[in-house]
Amino acid sequence: MSAAMRRRAVLALPYAWLTLFFLVPFMIVLKISLAESVIGIPPYTALLATDGWQLHVSGESYRRLASDDLYALAYLNAIKFAGVSTVFCLLLGYPLAYGIVRAPRRWRSLLLLLVILPFWTSFLIRVYAWIGLLSGNGVINNTLLALGLVHQPLTLLNNAFAIYVGIVYSYLPFMVLPLYAQLEKLDPALLEAAADLGCRPWRAFCRVTLPLSLPGIAAGALLVFIPAVGEFVIPDLLGGPNTLMIGKVLWDEFFANHDWPMAASVAVAMLAVLILPMGFIRRLLQGETA
Amino acid sequence: MTATAAARPSAAAAHLRIEAVVKRFAPDAAAAVDGVSLDIAPGEFFALLGPSGCGKTTLLRLLAGFETPDEGRILIAGADMAGVPPYRRPVNMMFQSYALFPHLTVAQNVGFGLKQDRLPKREREARVAAMLDLVKLGRLAQRKPHQLSGGERQRVALARALAQEPKLVLLDEPLAALDRKLREETRFELVRIQHRVGITFLMVTHDQEEAMSMASRIAVMSQGRIVQLGTPQEIYETPANRFVADFIGGVNLLEGRVLRAHDGLIEIDSAEAGAILVVEHPVLAAGSTVAIAVRPEKIVFAPPAAAANRLEARVRGLAYRGEASTYEVELASGKLLRVTQVNAVRQAPAYAAGDSISLGFAPGAAVVLAP
């Protein structure tokens, strides 16, 4: 095997793996989304009828998706929650990543380790732990009551606030790590050059550090935003029963209503919704480096 | 080639005064800059020359304001720079790595400081164009730094350092990242540009040839101190001590004891040379031990039989360099000397290893070094 072929194989194998195990399940989901819901096993009609090879394509689930405001609202809500959380992750994560980069070298690996330390515990358990912190007789309320700062417990759980707390907390490391990687590459001489040319530290940050960290911001924002849009566990556990987020709607369609075609069409539409911001950010970055 | 004497001072050029500046990076560490005092005239092209770790870059960073002196004062155009942050100093630096902003075009890099100064757009564009013209980069104005060659980046860095019309430009090893041929061309270019803008240039370099060919005056630094200050010629021809003699160009050192002094000459009994050496020098007490320095190019082969300082030697090796050849010769005492002969004619007589030769130097060619 030649060197060029080996190089291609190194790339081709993982991509073949990814393609296979992304595309095949996706095709199955797409197929189900075009079927009709029935009571039985499986709970949907076959796309290819066994009698006479006829295609039975139904747009019923997509028609409901488009006509019922609930779904559009759930998508918009999910995008809002994910978007606002991404902004907060950036506002918290940027100073954190910057601080780690500027810390003495011997501290850096420890500080980075602390950022990813939460991953050592199950995601589910960490979200559960927030219930213990936020509930009416949870740690935060008990502390505030004991200090006499409030006279009756604050409603911290089962609302939008709890969802934001949960998402920002859970996804912060995904923002910090790409930002750290980007900021760490920044040559300190560039900031000295900016200062030498008349920039106060804040101006040097705006004119040099910030534009040069845009790829890290974009990577971090995508890593937070995309999974947050489809997030189910956090809104379910912390947001209470009235939360309208698309991940939760999908779960309900699948497990509560047993409407597989509907759940599948929600999933297909979510993918379409997520591809849009990705394309937008890619455009933005290409404009920056061109 | 010795560069011109001090360039004409312009209105923008400033007097730089460094008074007994000391800088320590840790309280118990040796001082990186140890009591340096300097006066640099407006419009001068000055070089700080020394081996790596001698404190020259630290001194430059103290002037730019990136470091704060522990003792002493820095005055630029009479103004004390104590407590003045880098962004308020009338100084611009050309960084050794150039530190060009990778996300900005050449024109935006050059105009970076002007934009910070809130210069109107038209004026700014005109100044950027003039600066790019000065360094002959006008056609590359819209390129990004990564699309430039090393030499082009170096000129962008220079244009950026000059754009704000600073009173003083600091150049940190400005030619170190260029290849040899480009480096030699750029020397002339830098001197020409400095002449045209008339701004005071302070250059840091470890390359003695670079310092001598460009600067009007040189301060040789070692271990945080200035060991000699003077014109390139003074530093080369009358080095103050062994360190300077050895650091600036090649040198042969011969040790001996002073026999007597007469008529501005001293006679030295040198076991190493195996002869009585005669060197031009004011009176020195008989009996004192001295070292004399003779540059390799000041030793001649086959001197007249009656000449002073005539030594017998054997050729050990030869390095042919084109314009000159350097011989390594061994005296009877085993002492090795280096001798450079200019290849003035195409078939210059070449000595081979093992040949016996006689060599010598004029009494005025050698320098007596302080012990």
B-chain residues near A197 (CB < 8 A) = 87, 92, 112-113, 116, 160, 164
Neighbours of A286 (CB within 10 A): 9
- Mean pLDDT to the nearest integer, B216-231: 95
A-chain residues near B99 (CB < 8 A) = 187, 189-190, 192-193
Q: What is the pLDDT of residue B9?
A: 43
CA-to-CA distance for A285 and B17, rounded, in angstroms? 48
Domain boundaries, chain A: 68-258
CATH 3.30.200.20 fits A68-258, yes or no: no
CB spacing of B92 vs A196 below 8 angstroms: yes
**Torsion (CA) B327, B333, B334, B337 in degrees, nearest 10:** -30
A-chain residues near B65 (CB < 8 A) = 195
In chain B, the residue whose alpha carbon lies closest to the alpha carbon of A202 is: B87
CA-to-CA distance for A61 and A32, rounded, in angstroms? 10
- Mean pLDDT to the nearest integer, B24-53: 93
CA distance B300 to chain A (A): 49
Pick from A245, A16, A24, A238: nearest CA to A127: A238
CB spacing of B101 vs A190 below 8 angstroms: yes
Q: What is the pLDDT of residue B84?
A: 95
pTM, two decimals, is 0.83
CA-to-CA distance for B287 and B211, rounded, in angstroms? 38
A-chain residues near B113 (CB < 8 A) = 197-198
- Mean pLDDT to the nearest integer, B161-176: 93
**Interface size between A and B, measured as CB pairs under 8 A:** 57
Task: Look at strands B79-80 and B33-40 and give their pairing.
Answer: unpaired
Q: What is the pLDDT of residue A42?
A: 79
CA-to-CA distance for A217 and A174, rounded, in angstroms? 11
Confidence of residue B62 (pLDDT cuts 50, 70, 90): very high
Domains, chain B, in order of start with CATH, read: 3-243 (3.40.50.300), 250-369 (2.40.50.140)
Q: Which of the residues B96, B98, B103 would you substitute to probe the A interface, choosing the one with the greatest number of A C-beta atoms within 10 Å?
A: B103
In chain A, the residue whose alpha carbon lies closest to the alpha carbon of B160 is: A197
- Mean pLDDT to the nearest integer, B249-256: 90
Q: What is the pLDDT of residue B1?
A: 37
B-chain residues near A212 (CB < 8 A) = 102-103
Burial pattern A102-123, b for ≥16 Cβ within 10 A else e, equals: eeeeeeeeebbeebeeeeeeee
Gyration radius from chain B CA atoms: 24
Residue A252 exposed, middle or buried by CB count within 10 Å (0-12, 13-18, 19+): middle
CA-to-CA distance for B75 and B63, rounded, in angstroms? 9
Q: What is the pLDDT of residue A48?
A: 66
- Mean pLDDT to the nearest integer, B86-99: 95
Kindly report the length of chain B: 371
B-chain residues near A199 (CB < 8 A) = 87, 116
CA distance A212 to chain B (A): 7
CA-to-CA distance for A265 and A250, rounded, in angstroms? 9
CA-to-CA distance for A246 and A248, rounded, in angstroms? 5
Pick from B140, B130, B188, B184: nearest CA to B162: B130
CA-to-CA distance for A158 and A131, rounded, in angstroms? 9
Picking from B87, B100, B160, the nearest residue to A195 by CB comes out as: B87
CA-to-CA distance for A30 and A24, rounded, in angstroms? 10
Q: What percent of chain B has pLDDT over 90?
A: 69
Give the residue numbers in A contacting B (CB under 8 Å), as ranges: 187, 189-190, 192-200, 203, 207-208, 211-212, 288
Helix axis angle, B150-163 relative to B180-197, nearest 10°? 20
In chain B, the residue whose alpha carbon lies closest to the alpha carbon of A215 is: B103
Q: What percent of chain B has pLDDT over 70?
A: 95
Q: What is the pLDDT of residue B3?
A: 40
- pLDDT < 50 positions in chain A: 290
CB spacing of B116 vs A203 below 8 angstroms: yes
- Mean pLDDT to the nearest integer, B50-69: 94
Q: What is the DSSP letter of A37?
A: B
CB spacing of A193 vs B99 below 8 angstroms: yes
Dihedral sign computed on CA atoms, order A47, A49, A53, A57 = negative
Pick from A185, A222, A218, A188: nearest CA to A205: A188
Q: ipTM for the complex?
A: 0.85
CA-to-CA distance for B215 and A121, rounded, in angstroms? 65
CB spacing of B86 vs A196 below 8 angstroms: yes
CB spacing of B102 vs A212 below 8 angstroms: yes
Least confident of A233-247, B6-20, B42-56: B6-20
Per-position DSSP letters for B239-306, written without gaps between them: -SSHHHHHHSS--EEEEEEEEEEETTEEEEEETTTTEEEEEE-S---TT-EEEEEE-GGG-EES--TT
Is 50 exceeded by the pLDDT of residue B5? no
- Mean pLDDT to the nearest integer, B307-334: 90
Task: Look at strands B200-205 and B168-172 and give their pairing.
Answer: parallel
Record the tokens describing residue A201, joined without a space.
């530290």
